[in-house]
Amino acid sequence: MAATDLTLGVERTPRRRMPEIIVVLTSSKVAMVGLALVVFWILVAILAPVIAPYDPLAQDVTAMNQGPSAAHPLGTDHLGRDLLSRIAYGSRLILVLAPLAALCSVAIGTALGLAAGYFGGWSDEVLMRVLDAIMVFPTILLYLIVIALAGASGINVVVAIAIAGAPGIARMVRSLTIDIKTRDYIAAARLRGEPALYIMWAEILPNARGPIIVDGMIRVGYAVFAIGTLGFLGLGLPPPAPDWGSMVLAGRRFIWTNPWAVLWPALAISSLVVGLNLLADGLREESLRYQ
């Protein structure tokens, strides 16, 4: 059922909502700054073959630890690899793995939260106790356990982040479900004989999507930071992949002679995380205004 605008007294269909979302985002300077940062990195990822002057894996022993120059605009690392090329191609990895990890986390947490909140009883207790047990572990320790057991790879990084993030999302969705299932339209759906799965996914989930979307956007930023952290700890993507966190790890050994090798990937991680968080703030403003 489409939502109704109480101010204008008209039904807001998805087609009508899109201009409203655009107006809210464009009226928020914070959201626009975040959107600009995110779009910048998306363009860098798309145009990486054009932007990168060299192969990101190519080594040049005659150009090791050089600063910015005409030949290497951002300098080179300790193996003579071009930093601009590695940053550009590394954005492709981060912009695939981070949204994928956040999406898996949101999907798992949403499914568990809907089931726990709607059915209640013993199923709710069992699910919540299991999720509480997972949340007891510090996030970074949980990452380390999963990666240590499964090995360092892109897929395992996604799995680790999804497992660590799902419990928090599940608890949020559960609380939303418990509130929404008391509404009149849920009672009407039950009287019509609608199955529980239909009620959860067609009636409850659409009315809880605002907070879930905002939380998901924030978790993409968390995932970017987590991938960078795992790379810095040597548990991210295996070398010689142009992983930003691994670049910081390799460059810190030469930070006094070549600070650029640490500065550029660190700025890349921080700017993308900040952009995602600012954009999420704008989406939160939109969800509060039109909920």
* Neighbouring residues of 221: CB distance < 8 A, sequence distance ≥ 6: 272, 273, 274, 276, 277, 280
- The label of the residue with tokens 């909502």 reads 17
pLDDT of residue 6: 37
Alpha-carbon distance of 10 to 18, in angstroms, equals 15
Judge whether 103 lies within some domain: yes
pLDDT of residue 23: 63
Q: What is the count of structural domains for the chain?
A: 1
Judge whether 118 lies within some domain: yes
pLDDT of residue 52: 92
Q: Are 232 and 248 in contact (CB under 8 A)?
A: yes
* Neighbouring residues of 51: CB distance < 8 A, sequence distance ≥ 6: 44, 84, 88
Judge whether 124 lies within some domain: yes
pLDDT of residue 236: 83
Q: Tens digits of per-residue pLDDT, 10-51?
A: 334 444 455 555 666 666 677 888 889 999 999 999 999 999
Judge whether 7 lies within some domain: no
The answer to whether the bond into 240 is cis (omega within 30° of 0) is yes
pLDDT of residue 123: 84
Residues of the chain whose pLDDT is less than 50?
A: 1-16
Judge whether 1 lies within some domain: no
249-to-66, 142, 233, 277 alpha-carbon distances in Å? 17, 21, 7, 25
Residue 128's CATH number: 1.10.3720.10
Q: Are 23 and 32 in contact (CB under 8 A)?
A: no
Judge whether 5 lies within some domain: no
Residue-number span of the structural domain to which 210 is assigned: 12-59+70-290
Alpha-carbon distance of 17 to 222, in angstroms, equals 28
